[in-house]
Structure 1
């Protein structure tokens, strides 16, 4: 099993256990702007759910800071996951996106941060690290 496949299975499990009192049936994925990896995350998470025979509706919306569609959909979903590109998105933009979702009482269940520099000693990474 690849580390990427395992990471999405862990994400699926974390979502399932994020609230044991209520089932999460509809999950919306959004981002702050285009090309942050939201569609790739959507596809891989859909595969992880399909492999576990879980019936969950995943919804991929336009970026929350681009159009209001994401806010409208978020208010109707059981949970929202925001995908952020660590190399391209400023903290202010991420916070603005979070606030815009909070305004409609969206239930944030997680944030996925893409493109983290794995050579940095500031973060945690599970898996094999290739030496240069």
Structure 2
């Protein structure tokens, strides 16, 4: 029972924007949403990815809550788990992962067949699906570009959760086919060299580096987080 209680508590923490939309933390996510819209004010932001420098930096919590606050803005949003190595989106939203992105990319089913509706209005989920032996190749394939183009016909915004950029090339590959990238780093965990290296790896991509979210920063009474490039 204790183990299950811990899992439930983790989900509560992960989806704060759904469970407590009036909280100060939820307001932070809405501010990030606004800043992202300003960052892309002269360009379309139909697709974006969220990545981190390394593991355990709050990337997956950030991407889940961002997807929710965009959906709360009455946008049709698709959250795609493009981390086909250590997927987490299906845990966070408690959806089936026996089908998903990998299933679509290898031609086992269509995009619409692989989608799952979340319990947040306007937000659909495309989980990672079965873990493939070649995630980087699948993300860089023609099939991936076709999936993105098809999804753009159904959704206002598509958000991709990708692996840490310093660990594998997946985020860099996907950054060449989306409109923008968001980097998540954790205070007192991500060293400056790693953060700068991650930024340097994303900057040559065709998409725009939209900004950096710094998690777990010590804050003053009226200051909740730092956002910027």
> What is the correspondence of 1:26-105 to structure 2 with a 5 Å cutoff?
26-54=47-75, 55-105=156-206
Q: Contact between 2:28 and 2:224, CA under 8 Å: does it hold in 1?
A: no
Where do 5+ consecutive residues of structure 2 fail to align? 1-21, 76-155
Structure 1 unmatched ranges of 5 or more: 128-132
Q: CA deviation at 1:22?
A: 1.5
CA deviations on 1:51-105 (whole Å, 9 max, x unpaired) are 0022211101000000001100011111110000011111110111111112334
Q: Which has more helix, going by share of residues?
A: 2
Question: Scaled by the length of structure 1, what TM-score is found?
Answer: 0.86
Distance 1:21 1:14 in 2: 13
TM-score by length of 2: 0.51
The more displaced of 102-111 and 34-43 is 102-111
CA distance, structure 2, for counterparts of residue 12 and residue 86 of structure 1: 21
Contact map agreement 1:25 1:57 (CA 8 A) in 2: yes
Secondary structure, aligned partner of 1:17: helix
Bigger-Rg structure (1/2): 2
Residues in 2 aligned to 1:117 and 1:23: alpha-carbon distance in whole angstroms: 34
